[in-house]
Chains A and B, each alone.
Chain A
Amino acid sequence: MEHLLSLLVIVPLVGALVVLLTPNTYAYLYKNIALFSTLLLLALSLYAVYHFNTADAGAFIETSSLQYVEKMEWFRLNLGGLGVIAIDYFVGVDGLNITMVLLSAIVLCIGVLASWNTVEKVKAYFGLYLLLSASVMGCFIALDFFLFYLFFEFMLLPMYFLIGIWGGPRKEYAAIKFFLYTLVGSLFILIVMIGLNQSVYDPIKTAELAGLSTEISIAEVQEQVALGEIAKEQLVKTFHMIFMVDPNNYVPGSLLDRANVSLWMGHPLRSVAFLALFIGFAIKLPAVPFHTWLPDAHVEAPTAISVVLAGILLKIGGYGLIRTAYAIFPDAAFHHGWLIGFLGILAILYGAMNALAQKDLKRLIAYSSVSHMGFVLLGLASMTTEGVSGAIYQMFSHGLIASLLFLLAGVLYDRTGNRYIENYSGLAGIMPVFSIFVGVAFFASLGLPGFSGFIAELFVLIGAFSSASEIGAIPSWMAIVGALGLVLAAAYYLWTFQRMFMGAFWVKEKKWLPSLKDLTIREYLMFVPLIVLIVVFGIFPNLLFQLINHSVDVFVNHLTLWK
């Protein structure tokens, strides 16, 4: 399995190609091809997790403990006085992205099952779906910023069409809003990426180009560059994310060098760059006040796309924050700790308050997503081991729980075409299993112990609280205020559950009655695995912690060292 990670991208791409080449007379094959491809994806990522060496999975700042690495030069530009730009095909996993790969594979599989009954333009749908799968996977495994950005941007294309063609009544509006909003965010990322590229060199390739001895160590190369002994023309500038993390790889006096004290509108450049990256990923996350594309996109998107959006795409925001913004600019992150912590609790409370007021079930879940992703921000802002572990755990756990919630909302929408809470009452009487599953999902989402969300939120909170005495990034009261979100979550979920599922049976339209049947086998196949996973990760947190522990350790040490 030499090219394991590349296969994660290639498999869905090939799947998409096969779908495209299969003639329309075999239309029933499309979903099977998609299912097969995503199942293969799941098998590959399980293989990757199984053979993942947890004992040595630190990475983050050094390439040596990265696993399943594939690296080759893609192309190189000679810019004369500005040096040489080398762009690599560079993929690999550490404790952070292996979990995201696993999560994506699980959610993508379930997403195909959720799309099973798609009837319109099936070929295009599954083709685009597989294209989306490929770019999601690529985004999580890419360690070259250029490559990452490529996948990151490419994701928008299939997503735009999937919402815009198969969505609800206001699909065009939602699709274009989603597209443009994220694109604006990407521009910020693009600018910082170029700035970083101009500031960071690849010591290995520089040594090669400068004709230094092959036995020279990286530290010696860095020393030579620092002393200006290597000509500017011979510096090989890179997009290598891991090299960007090490402050010694910055060209002295370059734009984003730590020693560079020049200001831009009164702020140090690194601080500005961090904020730009932060905004870019905060839009994706989404953090309040950049979140308004999310409810619209969710409400209009078909169920499966909502699932992928909430289950995976939001996580790319959190992932990007950890991998780039925090890892590359720990100093600026520490400096803006208060702001980010505040945005975290703002998202938690604001999202929860908004969820309480929603009438559309899907909008409610969308706002609850905003609230739960606030925990990711709060955990990161704490810059403590517990907080960061909790944030990563929350991304994984929310990926599963939000998928489950959107699927459940989809069940109702499939049957009646209506998701308004006030139009239903006493559903528990005629759809008992469905009601139990909704109950389980609601309790999982409101952070009941025994479900994965509890571990995640607990760790975020204890991390946020101890931050004040450990590192001093955010004050303790933020943890206590953030915990209020748990009470509000209980309020909006239980209230919704009471209104829709309890009491005497009643639905607004008589014509819905015949279609309101309990779950089908296909739906069981989607829900049962998700619920089992949520419970398993709630009771055996070690399953996930042992994957991420080393990386979190290295990451937090790095933050503490360079804050």
Chain B
Amino acid sequence: MIDVLDILEPKNTHLLLWVLSLLGIPLISFLLSFFAGNQAPGIATLLIFINLLIATTMCFEFWSSETIIKGEWFATAGRQFTYAFYIDKLTLMMSMVVNFIGLMVHLFSVEYMRKDPCISRYFAYLGLFLFSMLLIVLSHDLLFLFVGWELVGLTSYLLIGFWWKKRKATTAANKAFIMNRVGDLGFLTGLMILFAQFQSFDLEVIKSLMIFSEIEQGQWVTSYLYAGVEIFKSVDGRWLSAAGIALFCGAVGKSAQFPLQVWLPDAMEGPTPVSALIHAATMVAAGVYMLARIFVLLDAQALEVVAIVGAVTAFMAAIAALSQFDIKKVLAYSTISQLGYMVMAMGVGAYTASLFHLFTHAFFKAGLFLTAGIIIHQLHHVESNKVSFDPQDMRVMGGLRKHMPYTFAAFLFCAMALVGLPGFTGFLSKDAILLNVAVWADLKGGGFYIPEVLAFMTVVFTSFYTFRMVFLVFFGENRLTRILGDGQITSQIKEGTRMLLIPACLLAILSISWALGLGFDAQDNWLVRALPTPIYLVPISYAAQSLVDVPDDVFKYLHPLVVSISVALALVGIIIAYFAFKPGAKMERRFTERREPVGALGQISFYHWYQDALYQKLFVQLIIWKSKGFDWIDRHMIDAFVVRFGQLQVIIAHIIKWLDRQVVDGLVHGLTLLVGSVGKIGRSMQTGNIQSQVMLSFLFLILLILIFAF
């Protein structure tokens, strides 16, 4: 039998310095930047550059091995709690990506945030974010992961609300944090279930014990040793599925999945580079990453839930992206939609495809956000005391291809990767996901074709909204002239500076397949080979049917079909977008006057299925109303009872006082009166008159005789 304490033994602590430096440098950046004032951008960027170098060195050092670093953190009575880090290909690649995109965003922000008076605070937050993100990436202990998880939530809150004087920004920050907390409630529940069963948060312990746990007559049974003491646990088997689903709830919050995805579009109130780093490339992908880490613990039911939630999210968000005016909103919904793809892929068991898409998406989506950032930044420059408009609104754009050609090129590359056109990274990873979903749907049959259909429909919508954006932003004439009636204003729009362009262009280049060395085969390239699907560890009766077991022939047979359908669908989307929004088309011409879409479908898209309005009514107002109700109960019932009880005592005291005076004291008075009057009678007898005395004595004598006689 396994002794948990043996697994918790410290190991490889001599390698701890690697991890500590990788985590420590961003933390130092956080502390230094805070007090560095105007020097902060330089210091922070340099530190992140060093960190990227360390991550690269670690790739060379640890690529071919899987290393667990572990040591004691603290102990309660009888239970050990460790810190644990895991270094394998996945963590190495993740830390490379996080640091690389982090560096790009730092470089970009140097220029983008240059004029902000709080620039040191901004770079400090970025450092804190990278620290907590890397903590999630590296930790191999669910408690540690949760710590990083909550801390990225904090930095996300801080950065969304970075411009704290804007009410919209702070509301969005609150919303993001609280929605994430709701998801974390699930995460916490998952932690509780796993701890109750395995007495540890260490993933190595949980995985080793999970292999030996069994389902017996619907009971989830585990037995193991802890410090030599045998422990036997038997709980309802449904807790196993519940654990998976509960942990997934955490991912639902962080990776903006249905029904908690509403915070992400609002999060666009933060600075645009932050949206690129946190709300597109890295933090929101943490949910998918976490699913990958606990993938082997998810049972069939949990995986089905994951797949369905992912598909629904991908579809819903793609619909919402169709009709937005704000360029960042489009990108935000697109992010939700793509995250839906990744989550769905995890759910169908396509571990590799999901992570593949996570990596490719990180580059092209960060690229899209940074190029959008350039546009916003440059349009913002055009604004002056006299002219004021919303530089994120696509209604003021158009024709920017001529003004900013490099930006256009970068945007177009990333957009083509997002749509999934051959030759771009997104094509390969999306192809892999769609193929796996198709195989999975065939395997399961019945209602499980619905996720597949949703996934394929999302392809059309994705290419439509992406190219709608491309046409509206870059082609035709600039609509500012039309809106403001000022012919001069377009000449003021200039290409972004080199500091802005370099990071964006680098990310655009990395959206091309060959730049990442990926070739043309979605099923066979170095990235896919580096991330093989692990084998489920849950008890066999609860394990999902693994796609690994499906013969290669099925994949080979379906592959050409899936590729051609998805490319065809993407082209259809582009063509529709072209005819609708090409320069001079009816919809393009009317675009400046557009307010909000008419018609039910348009409104559903524009208001994102009215989810926000529903939540506002259903939860926010209800809770505020309830809290007021509780406050009323507290004042007018509980406290009033106490006060009335006290007052009752006073009243009783008064009654007693009255009783005391009238009855008790009255009795005493009565008694004294009685005694007095008796005395008076007695006294009246003591007259000193012999005759009367003799007569009285005689009467008493007769009385006595009478008493004794009868």
Interface centre among B75, B77, B78, B624 (most CB of A within 10 A): B77
The answer for the CA separation of A193 and B193 in the assembled complex, in Å, is 40
A524 CB–B CB distance under 8 Å: no
Q: Is A357 in contact with B630, judged by CB distance below 8 angstroms?
A: yes
Choose among B74, B191, B631, B634 the residue that contacts A541 (Cβ–Cβ < 8 A): B74
Residue of A nearest to B637 (CB): A289
Q: Is B165 in contact with A386, judged by CB distance below 8 angstroms?
A: no
B691 CB–A CB distance under 8 Å: no
Q: Is B623 in contact with A502, judged by CB distance below 8 angstroms?
A: no
B147 CB–A CB distance under 8 Å: yes
Residues on the B chain within 8 Å of A462, using CB: 191-192, 195-196
Choose among B74, B177, B196, B642 the residue that contacts A490 (Cβ–Cβ < 8 A): B177
B146 CB–A CB distance under 8 Å: yes
B171 CB–A CB distance under 8 Å: yes
The answer for the CA separation of A502 and B163 in the assembled complex, in Å, is 9
B185 CB–A CB distance under 8 Å: yes
Residues on the A chain within 8 Å of B627, using CB: 353-354, 356-357
| Chain B window 382-409, contacts with chain A (Cβ cutoff 8 Å), 1 for yes, 0 for no | 0000000000000000000000000000
Residues on the B chain within 8 Å of A373, using CB: none
The answer for the CA separation of A426 and B147 in the assembled complex, in Å, is 30
Q: Is B623 in contact with A491, judged by CB distance below 8 angstroms?
A: yes
Q: Is A502 in contact with B77, judged by CB distance below 8 angstroms?
A: no
Choose among B81, B164, B189, B639 the residue that contacts A483 (Cβ–Cβ < 8 A): B189
Residues on the B chain within 8 Å of A288, using CB: 638
Residues on the B chain within 8 Å of A483, using CB: 185, 188-189
Instruction: Give residues 480-506 of A contacting B (CB, 8 Å).
Output: 480, 483-484, 486-488, 490-491, 494-495, 498, 501-504
Residues on the A chain within 8 Å of B147, using CB: 449-450, 454
Residue of B nearest to A356 (CB): B627
Interface centre among A293, A426, A503, A552 (most CB of B within 10 A): A503
Q: Is B75 in contact with A542, judged by CB distance below 8 angstroms?
A: yes
Choose among B170, B185, B188 the residue that contacts A502 (Cβ–Cβ < 8 A): B170
Residue of A nearest to B72 (CB): A542
The answer for the CA separation of A484 and B150 in the assembled complex, in Å, is 16
Residues on the A chain within 8 Å of B234, using CB: 469
B174 CB–A CB distance under 8 Å: yes
Q: Is B178 in contact with A491, judged by CB distance below 8 angstroms?
A: yes
Choose among A350, A449, A498, A556 the residue that contacts B151 (Cβ–Cβ < 8 A): A449
**Contacts A504-B165, A541-B74, A542-B74; is A443 near B192 (CB within 8 Å)?**
no
The A interface, classified by DSSP as helix, strand, loop or mixed, is: helix
Q: Is B638 in contact with A289, judged by CB distance below 8 angstroms?
A: yes
Residues on the B chain within 8 Å of A501, using CB: 164
| Chain B window 137-179, contacts with chain A (Cβ cutoff 8 Å), 1 for yes, 0 for no | 0000001001100110010010001001101001101100110
Q: Is B634 in contact with A292, judged by CB distance below 8 angstroms?
A: yes
| Chain B window 630-669, contacts with chain A (Cβ cutoff 8 Å), 1 for yes, 0 for no | 1100100011001000100000000000000000000000
Q: Is B77 in contact with A552, judged by CB distance below 8 angstroms?
A: yes
Choose among B73, B146, B170, B181 the residue that contacts A486 (Cβ–Cβ < 8 A): B181
**Contacts A354-B631, A356-B624, A426-B165; is A490 near B181 (CB within 8 Å)?**
yes
Q: Is A292 in contact with B642, judged by CB distance below 8 angstroms?
A: yes
Q: Is A502 in contact with B76, judged by CB distance below 8 angstroms?
A: no
Q: Is B630 in contact with A350, judged by CB distance below 8 angstroms?
A: yes
Q: Is B79 in contact with A385, judged by CB distance below 8 angstroms?
A: yes
Q: Is B164 in contact with A503, judged by CB distance below 8 angstroms?
A: yes
A180 CB–B CB distance under 8 Å: yes
Q: Is B170 in contact with A357, judged by CB distance below 8 angstroms?
A: no
Choose among B79, B165, B184, B191 the residue that contacts A503 (Cβ–Cβ < 8 A): B165
A466 CB–B CB distance under 8 Å: yes
Residue of B nearest to A489 (CB): B181
Residue of A nearest to B184 (CB): A486
Residue of B nearest to A388 (CB): B77
A104 CB–B CB distance under 8 Å: no
A550 CB–B CB distance under 8 Å: yes
Residues on the B chain within 8 Å of A177, using CB: 642, 646
Q: Is B77 in contact with A498, judged by CB distance below 8 angstroms?
A: no
| Chain A window 277-320, contacts with chain B (Cβ cutoff 8 Å), 1 for yes, 0 for no | 00000000000110111000000000000000000000000000
Residues on the A chain within 8 Å of B193, using CB: 465
**Contacts A502-B161, A502-B164; is A465 near B77 (CB within 8 Å)?**
no
Residues of B within 8 A of A (CB): 73-79, 81, 143, 146-147, 150-151, 154, 157, 161, 164-165, 167, 170-171, 173-174, 177-178, 181-182, 184-185, 188-189, 191-193, 195-196, 233-235, 623-624, 626-628, 630-631, 634, 638-639, 642, 646
12 pairs across A/B with beta carbons < 8 Å? A180-B646, A289-B638, A385-B79, A386-B79, A386-B195, A450-B151, A459-B76, A469-B196, A476-B196, A484-B185, A487-B181, A542-B73
Query: Which 8 residue pairs across A and B have the least CB separation, nearest first?
Result: A357-B631, A465-B192, A466-B196, A356-B627, A553-B77, A292-B639, A542-B74, A449-B147
